[in-house]
Structure formats: structure tokens, C-alpha cells
Structure 1
Amino acid sequence: MTLEITGRSAAEIAASVRERIERGALRPGDPLPSVRTLADELGVNRNTAVAAYRQLTLAGLVETRGRGGTRVVDRAPTAQEGFTPDSVLRDVATGNPDPALIPDPATALAGVAGHRVLYGEPVIDPGLERWADAWMRADLAPSEVRLTITSGAADAVERLLAQALVRDDAVALEDPCFLTSIHTVRMGGYRPVPVPVDDEGMTVAGLRAALDQGVRALVCTPRAQNPTGASLSERRAAELREMLREHPYVLVIEDDHFSMLSRSPFRSVIGPDHQRWALVRSVSKFLGPDMCLAVTASDAETAERLAMRLSPGTTWVSHLLQRLTLALVSDPGVAAGIARAGGHYAARNAAFAARLTALGIPARAGDGLNLWVALPVPAREVSTHLMRRGWLARTGDEFSLGSVPTTHRLRLTVHDLSDEDAGRLAADIAAAVDTAAASAGGRRARTEVG
């Protein structure tokens, strides 16, 4: 019997596979028999085998990879952003904004705490809605725009995908990709389809290949792409819009996470006639991660479905938080501080890239909080050497979906380092590269001698 799977009904077959997984007889990544093979082995109708696999897919136990067949899902935890609190190493992998550049909400909070909100009141605070409407419409081609407030960008993307997709639907993701996007797609039971990213953003050939594979949704970062720092050029954005014209009902989600801090202009892939779309802007990068609020602008149908996804659980985002957000973004002093913060991130990243270049490791600063550094040796080896020197760095393979090589990349968060610490880290990276290169040369020599 194939893999000792038993059963006559779809439920019995699914239960048998589940038991094999729970007992460890089937491990993450193991292939399951094709529908035809399973049906023939068990003497059942192929539709019964299809139904069994569908039950397992909906339970998140297996995934279908097209020609790659059906495999047991790898439930290994996905890497997340943020500090590593139990480490004694200096963490240059956090992806965090500089806390010194986050506005102090104390004064604004005292002025917004009076009004008490009850059930049945508008979901969006009227003042925030007026401000957000102007903020979002300024960069959108579609004439009809509906707004929704969610508890941050990740919450918005998760709910947007859930209202449009079912398990095993294909979602186009940038490669390398933002860690939270990878986690959201995998936990939702969707199938990630990688689209390579270059210096101009998501590639045309990559998007064409993803559309040919039948993706139902696309998550795109127009500027300050994490981890690469790439921003869409005007030419690339126009090419992607033109390609998407032939697929107006693919849900296009633009995550403009860096928005007010960005040094790059906003260029959208959403054309004026696209039918299913959403632009998501969080306030967490410039007002702080604890300000869990994002504005989503979308077409009317997507907005209605998103509201339905909100209604069973978090019916609305705290109006206190909404009014605090409005008070902060409307304050000229805060706005000036956000502008200075954006300049600070850009300047510190550029300075560190120049340090590395001067040490023989050519580097270029993109947009955003991080640097995406190419190395001449495997990043894992460099990371290990850096740990011995007191640094905790993040390697590129954590962000990889497999369509582009990332094994020789580091993603670094260095904007909060002093000049002295930045110089030390750059020197330690150069020394780690030299050590790894010398070790590789030694290994090659020993192999040749052997």
C-alpha cells in the first residue's frame, strides 16, 4: 500500500495521512502519491482522492505545488523582525526605526482623550478619514477610493488576502521578500510564487511568469523594498501597469510601509482601470511600532469585503489611537521631525555603504531602514565570524523564496550606530570576509591535494 495510507472515503484517507504526519512517518517536504496513483492503490474514485487532498490542504497539512506534486507542509517557524532579547551580541539585524527619532506622543495624547466612543459609531474617526483621504488619493490613479483602518499593515495584508483567496491559491511575492509577507502567505495556506527584484523593483519577466502561473493576488512594495531597499523606477512601474492591464481582477496590494520617510517618489503599479486593488500605508515606521494603525485605500468591493473580515473580530481600531495619529501627523513639529528622520536614515546608510566600499566591499544604500550588502563569500560564514566579534547580523537566505541567489547577502540595520561603532562593524565585516575567503582557499587547496 502506498505509504501505508488507508481508507475508502475522503475523510478516512485524510485521517490516515494526518495520522502518518503526526506519528512522523511523513515528514515536512515528503511527497504524497499523485491523485491517480493513490486512487488506483486504494481502489477508489479519483474524485475521492482529490477530496481527501483538498481536506488536508484546507487543514494546512499539505500543499500542492503544481507539477511539483503534493507535499507535506514544512511548519518550521518563519524568521521575524525585531530584537533578539536573549542575545549578548550587538544586534544589527533588527529592522527597527531609531527610538530617538520616534515622536513623543505625551502632549498629543492629553488632548485626544476626552471623547468616549460607543458601539455603533463610525468605524473611522471623521478627522482622520479626511486627512487620510487626501494622503492616499494624491498617489492613486483610480477615481473611486474607499478607506479602511486596520491594526497595522500586516493585519491589512492578511485580511485582504483572506477576503479574496482560498487555501492553495497562488500569491506573487517579491523575492527576496519582507519576512512578514512570507509568514502571512504561508500561515494562510496560500502558495507563494516568487517574483525577482532588481534595482528598479519587481521585474517584468518575473511578474509575467507569476501571472502565467495563475496568481490570484500580488503583494508589491513600490519603494524602500525590504530587504533590498529598491524602489520602482517610472519606466518599470509603467511596464508593470501595462502587464497588469490584461489581468484586472488579480488583487494588487501595494505595501508602502516607508511612505513619509522615503527618499524616493511613490510610483504605483495600479492602473486607473484595475478592478481589485489596495494601497496600504502604516504609521509604524515614523510614529513607532506601537502605533498599530494602517490606512488602506481600495476599490469599493475590496473595501466591503475587508470590512466584513473585520466585523467578526476587531470591529474597529481604537478611536483613541486614531485621534492620536491624527494629532501627531497634523503637528508641523512632528512633520518636520519625520522629514529629519528620513534624512537621517538615508545619510547613515549611505555613510556605512561608503565605509564598506572603502574597505573593498562595494556597497550601495537603497531606500529604507536597512542595507542589503553583497559579499564575495557565503554570508553564513561571515555571520559566524561576526558573532565571534560581538555582532548579530542577518543573512539573506532568511528572506529568500528561491528564485534569486541570496546566500552571499547580509541585511544590516546600522542607522543607530555611532561613527565609532559603525567603523568597527565595517572593519569586522571586512575581516570576516577575508577570513572566510582564506578558509575557502584552504579548503580548495586541500581538495586539490586530495
Structure 2
Amino acid sequence: MEEFNPEWFVNRLHDRSARGLARQISALIQSGTLPVGTRLPSIRDLAFGLGISPATVSIAWTDLRKRGIIAGRGRRGMHVCNMFLSPRPVRRTASLSSENVSLNLTSYTPDPGRLPHLSDAFEALTSIPNLNTYNDETISPALRAICAAHWPYPAEDFMATNGAYSALFDTMQALIPPGSTVAVQDPAPMRILDILDYLSTSILPLQSDTDGILPASLAQALARNPTALYLQPNINAITGQRMSRARLHELAQILRTSPSTWIIEDDAFPWFSGVPAESIGVWLGPRVIHVRSLSKTLGPDLRLGIVSASSMIIREIQAYRSFGPAWTSRLLQTVAARLLENEKTHQTIHGNYRHHQEQRHEMTSALRHNGIDIPTGEGFSFWIPVLNDEAACASLASQNIRVSAGHQCSLLAPSHIRFSISHLSGDFERIATAIQQAARKTASPAEQSDLKPV
């Protein structure tokens, strides 16, 4: 392979701003001039050759790494790993492994066999207002009424979207300018971090305990005047822990000191708990955008998320959505409304919740038996501290168990792994024993290679 020394780059990189460097390197990669596998010069050597600060090159490299175009660390340096022609969710793409294992614990979706049956709701459809019309209606009247009656705070306005992540993406696109600073409850869903990377934001990860975001961490982040705060006010979809109402109230008081910060709430598990849902909207309603997913409770293929916010914010998000679908299928909205007004649906959801809580108790007991003491929590996910997440994932893969590396969901230092019980029917003790062994691994195969003498 041809050697690309610093002088080669100096002759081709004429815009020497951080953004210009990232754009030009990306073009060289996409054209095939820099093939996949190419080793890049060190930041110091390239900066010296270009006559610019190493910090400028570092910013450009960070942008390219966030986009999944270059990768690397330590003694191996940076190298070209992909030639993407368009942006993509790097963390999510990396998590979609084709690795063949007998026990895949990375599915954070509900068990299809335990979801409410859709047939009754579809058969009951007789008339759907505005069906097949090009009317940019934010939400159907029937679904609006259901949401307003079961919402955690008195919201001013509602919008139906094509799934919760679509709602979060549209909200962030509409309200968060590129380059903004955003405070994020850590850990967070990988898709949220991917969206914020796509928007070129500066992410401020907030530390949490079992009650939720630490007030001191939020206060410190607000000193940097973030454009928005992202949090999960109920069940944390990554850890399975719940934010307490007392903690939410404490956070609301701190947020009063930063009136320009939008508050984006993500509730992935509505009705899927033993206690009512909460929201900072109780105290700071006009600044709150509350996103509720219906996928975990009614089914992913309904593709429905619900947004509540002030009418002004709903208009802003709707204006952005006009670039794309503009409105969400009234057919699917009507089916969701029929399901949610049916007591049988809620009985099914509650039965599903009890089933998963029994699973969580069994898994928690097995983990404690192996020396891993964590709260029982709710939802599908478990978040386990380990010495090295990549080493732990490799160890479990060698035993035909696939889990997710924690760094895909967290920007803070301690290593974790994440796994799901949503499709698990047993074998808790064997899995817990394997996790306990994996948690003690200290080096991944790549890091072991780095340690070999050159």
C-alpha cells in the first residue's frame, strides 16, 4: 500500500481550519484516494507540516471519528476504516454485528408473543377522519384525547410521530443548532449520542446514581449554558433504574437558573411500571418536550411516538417535519387509540410487566449469587460494571453469549456491559456466572496486541 506521509497531505489540504481539514480528508477517502486501511500521520506531525495547532487537527480527527470514517487509538494511531458517502449512526451501525452466537442478549425490543393483538383494533375500524388526505394534522383527535388523559403533566399540545426516535431526531434537528452544547444523562441510548454527533454538538455527560441525575453534575453543566438537556425521567432504558420524583423536583429547581435550556424527556416504557410516570413538565411545562414511545408496549411496527410540548414548539417541529413525511399515518394513530382505550390492552401490558419483573428478580438473584450486587430495576436492560467492556464482550462471545459494550452508550470513564432479558426464558445462573467471569477480564484482544513489542 502507498505511504501517505505528512508532505503528501500538506500538498493537498489547502483549507487548514478544523472543518476544512475534516471536509477535505472525507473527500479524499470517499474518492478512493485514501483507501480503507490507510494509516494517517500523527496529529503532531501533520500539524507541524501544515503549520497549524495540533488542537486544530485533533478537532478534525474527532469529527471524522464521530462519523465512523476513521478509527484507532494508542500506539496503533488513526487509520481509515470506512468510505461512507453519507452520515450514519456510528454507534448503532457498530452494534449490528453479524456475529453468530447461540444466545444474543442485545435485542432491546419486546417479545412479539407478549404484545397486544392488533387484529381486534384493525377489525374495529369503521371510519377514520381525514384518511388519505394531504392534511398536515399533528395528531388525530382520538389519540390526542387518550394522551391528554394519561399524560404525566398537563401538556399544552401533542404530536404523533413515526416512532420515538423519529420524534427525538426531529425535535433535536428543529431546536438544537449544529455546534451547540447539550447536557445528557449518562448512560444514554446509543441513537441519542449518534444524533447529537450528527448535529456536531458538544456533549456534556451527566453523572447519575440510583435516583437519577446527580444535582451537582447538572448544576456544573448548566454553568456552560447548554442549549438542551436530555434525560429519561422514568425508567432508564440502559440501566433499568428509575428516576425518583424527589430527584426530578430537585433537578427542576436547578433548571430554573438556566431558563434558556430546553428540556427533552424520553419515556421509552409508558404504562410498563409499578408506579405512575413522572415528568419535569409538572414544574417547568413550557420548556419541556416529552417524548413517549409506544413500541415497547403496543409493538414496534406501529411506528408511533407521541410528543408533548408548548404549541409554539410543536409548530417548530412540525415545520421541520414538512421536509419529510409531514404527518404520521392516521390509520396507525387510530389503531393505537383503539388499543389504548381498551382495558384488555392494559391487562396485557401489565401482565407483560409482571413477567419481566419476575425475570429481573431471577437474573438479579443469580448475579448476586455470583458477587454482582445491583438493584432489581424495571424494563429489559441490565447495566453491569466490568474492568474492560471490550474484553468482557469477547469473553462472553467465546461462550456464545452476545452483549453490548457499554462505551456505545456512555461517555464517562467506568466500563460496563449491557444486556437484555426481553427474549430470555431461563438459563439465568449460567449467564450470571459467565458475566461474573467476563467482568474480571482486563484487556481486549486488540489491546493485548498493542502490548506486544514492536
TM-score normalized by the length of structure 1: 0.79
Residue 379 of structure 2: which of 360, 365, 368 is its match?
368
Q: CA deviation at 1:38?
A: 5.5
The 3-state SS of whatever aligns with 1:96 is coil
Deviations 1:207-263 (A, max 9, x none): 112211221011110121121122222321121000111122211011111111123
Number of the residue aligned with 1:47: none
CA contact (8 A) 2:395 2:438 kept: yes
Q: CA deviation at 1:322?
A: 0.3
Q: CA deviation at 1:188?
A: 2.1
Matched, 1:263 2:274: yes
Give the distance between the partners of 1:176 and 1:365, measured in 2 at CA. Answer: 17
The 3-state SS of whatever aligns with 1:290 is helix
TM-score normalized by the length of structure 2: 0.78
Matched, 1:100 2:100: no
The 3-state SS of whatever aligns with 2:384 is strand
AA in 2 matched with 1:382: A
Number of the residue aligned with 1:49: none
Structure 2 unmatched runs, 5+: 1-5, 29-33, 69-89, 449-454
Number of the residue aligned with 2:208: 197
Deviations 1:261-285 (A, max 9, x none): 1234433233545542211111001
Number of the residue aligned with 1:298: 309
Give the distance between the partners of 1:254 and 1:234, measured in 2 at CA. Answer: 14
AA in 1 matched with 2:316: R
Residue 148 of structure 2: which of 114, 127, 133 is its match?
133
Give the distance between the partners of 1:79 and 1:122, measured in 2 at CA. Answer: 31
Number of the residue aligned with 2:420: 413
The 3-state SS of whatever aligns with 1:259 is coil
Number of the residue aligned with 1:153: 164
Residue 410 of structure 2: which of 387, 400, 404 is its match?
400
Identity of aligned residues (%): 23
Count of matched residue positions in the alignment of Structure 1 and Structure 2:
402
The 3-state SS of whatever aligns with 1:73 is helix
AA in 2 matched with 1:290: D
Give the distance between the partners of 2:241 and 2:305, measured in 1 at CA. Answer: 22
AA in 1 matched with 2:339: L
AA in 1 matched with 2:424: L
The 3-state SS of whatever aligns with 1:410 is strand
AA in 1 matched with 2:115: I
The 3-state SS of whatever aligns with 2:271 is helix
Change (3 A) 1:190 1:14: closer
CA contact (8 A) 1:196 1:404 kept: no
Q: CA deviation at 1:433?
A: 5.0
Residue 189 of structure 2: which of 178, 191, 196 is its match?
178
Give the distance between the partners of 1:230 and 1:12, measured in 2 at CA. Answer: 43
Q: CA deviation at 1:395?
A: 2.4
Give the distance between the partners of 2:190 and 2:220, measured in 1 at CA. Answer: 22
Residue 422 of structure 1: which of 407, 414, 428 is its match?
428
User: Mean alpha-carbon deviation: is it higher for 81-90 or for 236-245?
Assistant: 81-90
Matched, 1:19 2:32: no
Give the distance between the partners of 2:389 and 2:284, measured in 1 at CA. Answer: 44
Deviations 1:62-86 (A, max 9, x none): 996xxxx995431222136987565
AA in 1 matched with 2:392: V
Number of the residue aligned with 2:334: 323
Give the distance between the partners of 1:97 and 1:5, measured in 2 at CA. Answer: 54
Change (3 A) 1:121 1:309: closer
Matched, 1:389 2:399: yes
CA contact (8 A) 2:182 2:204 kept: yes
AA in 1 matched with 2:149: A
Q: CA deviation at 1:112?
A: 2.0
Give the distance between the partners of 1:266 and 1:26, measured in 2 at CA. Answer: 50
AA in 2 matched with 1:412: F
The 3-state SS of whatever aligns with 1:87 is coil
Give the distance between the partners of 2:189 and 2:117, measured in 1 at CA. Answer: 28
Matching of residues 13-412 of structure 1 within 5 Å: 18-23=23-28, 71-74=62-65, 75-76=67-68, 77-79=90-92, 84=97, 87-112=100-125, 114-115=127-128, 116-120=131-135, 122-136=137-151, 139-140=152-153, 145-270=156-281, 272-273=283-284, 275-375=286-386, 377-401=387-411, 403-405=412-414, 407=415, 409-412=416-419
Deviations 1:351-382 (A, max 9, x none): 1110111122223322221111234x434333
AA in 1 matched with 2:122: L
Give the distance between the partners of 1:290 and 1:348, measured in 2 at CA. Answer: 25
The 3-state SS of whatever aligns with 1:261 is coil
User: Mean alpha-carbon deviation: is it higher for 262-271 or for 323-332?
Assistant: 262-271
Give the distance between the partners of 1:13 and 1:84, measured in 2 at CA. Answer: 32
Deviations 1:164-185 (A, max 9, x none): 1211101111112111111111
Structure 1 unmatched runs, 5+: 40-52, 54-61, 444-450
Give the distance between the partners of 1:12 and 1:357, measured in 2 at CA. Answer: 53
Deviations 1:319-372 (A, max 9, x none): 110011011111111110001111211221121110111122223322221111
AA in 2 matched with 1:96: T
